[in-house]
Every structure is written in C-alpha cells, then in structure tokens.
C-alpha cells in the first residue's frame, strides 16, 4: 500500500503527548511521511497538524480511516478507544500500529486480531521496548548463555501520581489503574524472555474508591520454573530497574522501558557495560519494524506477534480478576 516510490504514509489518531513522542521518533525513519491526523476535537486536530505540518485534518476516527492519503494509522488514544479505533481503521483497509496495551481485555484483542486477519491488514501492538537495539542485544546474550541459565526476572515500574478520580489514570471506564498503564511493561518483558506464563500470585492495593489498582505485584512462572517478580505502582516511585538473573551472572538495565544501556555481570569477571543510543527517542525502532513488515507483506511482526499481545492481555485480565478490578464498559459483553 506504499506510494511515492516507497514512502509509507502515516495517519495519527490522537493528539496527546505520546502522539508527539511518536512523531519525534518517526522523523528519524527513512521513507515515512505523516499525511493526516484525527482527533475528537477539530481545534486539537488543527493545532497538532499546524505544529507538525500535517496536511489532512480530521474529526473522528471514521474520517481518518477513510482518508485515501493514509496507508497506516498510529493509534495514540486512551486505552478505552483502542479497540474501536483499530477496528474502524482495519475495516477501511488501513494497517495499524496501536499503542499498548492493545485493548482493555483479551476479548477485544481477539476481535482486533480477527479483523486484521479477515481484512488482510497489518496490526501490531506498539511495544517499543521490544524493538530497541539494546533489547535485541540482551536477547542475543541470553541465547548465547552469557549468564548461564536464566532463573529469575525482576522488573518494576512505578511513579507517585496524585490521586484524582477525574483523571484518566484513575477512571475505570478509561482503563485506569497501574496495571494497564505501567504493569503492561514488566508483564510484556516477562512474556518476552520467559515465554508462556502461569500467574502464581497477585497482591495489590486499590484506589480510595476501590475501583482500580493503585499498586500491583505479580509473581509469574514459566514451564521450566523460571520466575518473574513484577511490580507496578501509581503510589510510589519504584526503582524502575530490571534484573535478569542466571546461574552464572546477571544483566541489569536502568530505564529499561526505553533501554539504551545495560551492564552484564559474569561470575568471576569485571562488569561489561553496553550502550546502544537511539537515533531519535526510541520510537523510531517500532516504526521501522512496521515499515519492514508492510513492505514484506507480513500481517504481524515476528518480534511482537499477535499471540504475544493476546498472552500479555490474558495475564492482565487474570490479575484484574484476582484484584477485583472491573472495567464496566469493556468487560460487559
């Protein structure tokens, strides 16, 4: 669906901070051009388009999805709008890169995958961590046995956010809580490095109204007995580090959701520091994978396949169920 000698024409649905961050990364991607933006507000679409010199401005997902000058849509709306936005774009023949979490629950993810399959379009969850060169190098080191056999993964992601029931972060109708905003990162990391997971235990605190999780800790285990200790919080600034621990060493990563640096500790050796700086801000890597897949005629990325997104969402569904968190709009059939 590319035009103009290999140029991939992007549309952006949503005008918030993450849409801005993505376009900053997209600047570093060869052959990418942003041709359209869609928003619930005409004023927001105009402001965003003026800032980024985007020619086509639309109100609502339908108009953006039907824009003939768009090949692929980046969905940067709140979680609660991912499902409907993705279905509309796929039905209109557009490829889709949708922000994480892909949807609000596994039922919605299953429907989105089915739509991509039936319409013959590309769909990928925007799990940007997965595509960073540092992440790929860590995978190579683990496969080469640099730390022996992996035995444990420890990952946490938390920030202290003032409680405001009017905020999206605390609103169950919009997928609020720590789990979907922050917990998706450590769960996705565990799924990446450990494979199929069983939820062994869940502990957490709900917000003052008892509607969404303010903090969650999850213990998972794979079929080989390798464990993952995962935590997320909207109440506390966690260390925000990852440790991959093996029988003969470990790998530690700072700012691991957008990794550029990590340290390898081999037993009996001096620490080895690795650095893989981004060309832009880290979002360029997932955009390049989208372009590669579309050019190759692939409907899903081998680095972030549909089955992986579904596995991550099923784990989050189970965690929510154990905590008693319900999203009324999405969880009602």
* Residue 208, number of CB atoms within 10 A of its CB: 10
Cα(293)–Cα(74) distance, integer angstroms:
15
> Within 13 A of 88's CA, how many CA atoms are on the CB side?
18
Alpha-carbon dihedral of residues 230, 236, 239, 244, nearest 10 degrees? 0
Q: Is the peptide bond before 129 cis (omega within 30 degrees of 0)?
A: no
What element of type H or E holds 99?
strand 95-99
Residues 123, 90 contacting (CB under 8 angstroms): yes
Return d(Cα 277, Cα 136) in angstroms, integer. Answer: 13
> Are the C-beta atoms of 157 and 234 separated by less than 8 Å?
no
Is there a catalytic annotation at residue 137?
no
How many whole angstroms separate alpha carbon 71 and alpha carbon 49?
Answer: 18
Per the CB < 8 A criterion, the answer to whether 26 and 76 are in contact is no
Q: Would you state the structure tokens that stand for residue 217, as one six-digit string?
A: 């800790």
- The residue annotated as part of the active site, out of 94, 100, 137, 211, is 100
Which residues does the annotation mark as catalytic? 100
């Amino acid at each position: 669906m590319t035009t103009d000698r290999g140029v991939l024409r992007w549309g952006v649905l949503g005008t918030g901070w993450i849409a801005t961050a993505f376009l900053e990364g997209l600047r570093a991607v060869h052959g990418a051009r942003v041709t359209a933006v869609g928003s619930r507000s005409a004023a927001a679409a105009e402001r965003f388009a003026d800032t980024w010199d985007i020619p086509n401005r639309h109100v609502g997902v339908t108009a953006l999805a039907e824009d003939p000058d768009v090949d692929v849509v980046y969905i940067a709306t709140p979680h609660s709008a991912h499902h409907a936005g993705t279905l509309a774009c796929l039905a209109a023949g557009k490829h889709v890169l949708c922000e994480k979490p892909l949807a609000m629950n596994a039922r919605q993810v299953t429907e989105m995958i089915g739509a991509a399959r039936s319409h013959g379009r590309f769909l990928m969850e925007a799990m940007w961590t997965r595509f960073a060169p540092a992440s790929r190098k860590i995978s190579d080191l683990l496969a080469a046995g640099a730390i022996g056999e992996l035995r444990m993964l420890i990952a946490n992601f938390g920030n202290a956010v003032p409680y405001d029931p009017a905020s999206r972060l605390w609103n169950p109708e919009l997928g609020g809580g720590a789990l979907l905003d922050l917990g998706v990162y450590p769960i996705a990391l565990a799924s990446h490095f450990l494979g199929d997971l069983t939820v062994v235990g869940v502990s957490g605190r709900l917000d003052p109204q008892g509607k969404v999780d303010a903090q969650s800790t999850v213990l998972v285990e794979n079929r080989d007995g390798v464990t993952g200790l995962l935590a997320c919080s909207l109440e506390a600034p966690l260390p925000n580090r990852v440790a991959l621990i093996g029988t003969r060493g470990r790998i530690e990563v700072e700012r691991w959701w957008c990794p550029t640096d990590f340290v390898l500790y081999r037993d009996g050796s001096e620490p080895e520091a690795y650095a893989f700086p981004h060309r832009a801000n880290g979002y360029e890597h997932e955009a390049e994978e989208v372009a590669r897949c579309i050019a190759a005629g692939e409907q899903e990325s081998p680095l972030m396949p549909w089955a992986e997104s579904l596995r991550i969402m099923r784990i989050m569904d189970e965690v929510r169920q154990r905590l008693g968190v319900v999203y009324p709009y999405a969880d009602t059939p």
